[in-house]
Amino acid sequence: MASFKNGAVEMAYLDEGAGEPIVLVHGFASTKEVNWVAPGWVSTLTRAGRRVIALDNRGHGQSSKLYDPAAYHSASMAVDVAALLDHLDIERADVMGYSMGARIAAYLTVNSPARVRALILGGLGIRLVDGVGLPETIADALEARSLADVSDPTGRVFRAFAEQTKSDLKALAACMRGSRQTLSRTQVAGIAKPVLVAVGSKDNVAGSAQALAALIPGARALDIPDRDHMQAVGDKAYKTGVLDFLNQRA
């Protein structure tokens, strides 16, 4: 396992392939392997001639587990991504995030625009600025004594997913409570990068890709046909759309 430290927080990451770098930021309760390796993103991008870098966000995977919600502000997790670029001596890179990872990638772009060449927001549409997609009740589900004690349907899905990935449930609950920030319309309107917003057509978590893209000058929206929030991650149309975007971006 490759790792580095951002202050006291140890971050695990992978670094594969050669060529122009792209950094991948996974979603809530996932890991670099679950979000990017298993669905074939790493192999797809390396075959396309890209250097692929993906990290485990704080509280996830093999990275440090923190239990104070304040440690999970989206801006703080964006600093983790910038610190990884520093560690690898990369001045700037394309950045793709999914769901919570897209929120982190957007914060990185707004707060450290020189580090981002192009931005891909997967699984996150207008709820980047208009509320957050996942309910805070997920944190309650993660803290319940067992899956059997969770009655909320969305909470059950994420509790089962977190158990499947052998995640630290208390760290994830803190993350859910601490990472619920939005950006303003003025902030996203100031993004002067090529941007692709990719959301499943049946995603009821992310909000409209078109509505968010309309706020960002020159941004493109991509509908991932017949996919919900979970199913869209590894979809072929998503991958094709991202590769086309990367090949065409300025």
pLDDT recorded at residue 250: 60
Percent of the chain with pLDDT over 90: 94
**Dist CA 84 CA 229 (whole Å):** 27
Using CA atoms, how far residue 129 sits from 133, 183, 184, 213, in Å, is: 10, 5, 6, 11
Mean pLDDT of 66-78: 98
Residues 27-67: tens digit of each pLDDT: 999 999 999 999 999 999 999 999 999 999 999 999 999 99
- Take residue 14 and report the two structure tokens written for it: 């992978």
Looking at the predicted structure, is the pLDDT value of residue 69 above 80?
Answer: yes
- All structural domains of the chain: 2-132+182-248 (3.40.50.1820)
Reduce the DSSP state of residue 191 to 3 states and report it: coil
Taking all residues of the chain, what is their mean pLDDT, rounded to a whole number? 96
Which 8-state DSSP code applies to residue 36? I
**Are 106 and 188 a contacting pair, CB within 8 Å?**
yes
**Dist CA 88 CA 3 (whole Å):** 11
**Dist CA 95 CA 165 (whole Å):** 24
Q: If 0-12 CB within 10 Å is exposed, 13-18 middle and 19+ buried, where does residue 47 land?
A: exposed
Looking at the predicted structure, is the pLDDT value of residue 117 above 90?
Answer: yes
CA end-to-end distance (rounded Å), the chain: 34
> 133: pLDDT confidence band, cut at 50, 70 and 90?
confident
The model carries a pTM of 0.96
Looking at the predicted structure, is the pLDDT value of residue 249 above 90?
Answer: no
Q: Bin 35: left if φ > 0, else alpha if -120 < ψ < 50, else beta.
A: alpha
